[in-house]
Amino acid sequence: MKNMSDIIEAYLKQVLSQDEQIEIKRNEIADQFKCVPSQINYVINTRFTIEKGYLVESKRGGGGYIRIAKVKLLDDVEIIDALIDLIGTSISYNDAYSLISRLYEDEIISKREGTLMLAAIDKQTLAIEEPRACILRACILKSLFKNLKYEE
């Protein structure tokens, strides 16, 4: 059985499949699903991130809205450069997983390449405490991504 967050995410993705971007009112969606508005915030903040291929813009206040747009890939090298910048100096396993999944979904990498990348940055592979693991993971991931840019 799906939880409320999964249901809201599925609904928003279904609406997004019909349009390149959507504008929603948090309170209206909350009323529709009979949940609190913070539940909508949670779904948007965790399931519609740039790492997962979405751009979110919001305007607060009475006429406020939340705009969600699926990021379109213009060029593989361009997206890889953007992801390298996004990684920064430290990245959690979950965020790294989202980035690798995005590359696979957009057919920039194969399933095998994605699996190998995930194995290289896994918590058990790194086997060091979390703050240092996040820094090492970022270095490994950026190196892997840089190598993707030069592959034919």
Per residue in 80-103, pLDDT (tens digit) is: 888 888 899 999 999 999 999 988
83: left (phi over 0), alpha (psi -120 to 50) or beta: alpha
What value, to the nearest 5°, has the Cα angle with vertex 53 and ends 74 and 117? 95
* Mean per-residue pLDDT of the chain: 88
Give the H or E element holding residue 33.
helix 26-33
Task: Count the neighbouring beta carbons within 10 Å of the beta carbon of residue 133.
Answer: 20
Which CATH code, of 1.10.10.10, 3.40.50.300, 3.30.56.130, 3.40.50.1100, is assigned to 4-70? 3.30.56.130
Return the domain boundaries, the chain. Answer: 4-70, 76-149
As a whole number of angstroms, the distance between CA 58 and CA 68 comes to 9
Q: 51 or 3: which carries more pLDDT confidence?
A: 3
pLDDT on residue 152: 41
CATH architecture of residue range(s) 76-149: Orthogonal Bundle (1.10)
The per-residue pLDDT for range 42-94, each reduced to its tens digit, is 999 999 987 777 889 888 776 678 999 887 655 677 788 888 888 999 999 99
Residue 107 has pLDDT above 50, yes or no: yes
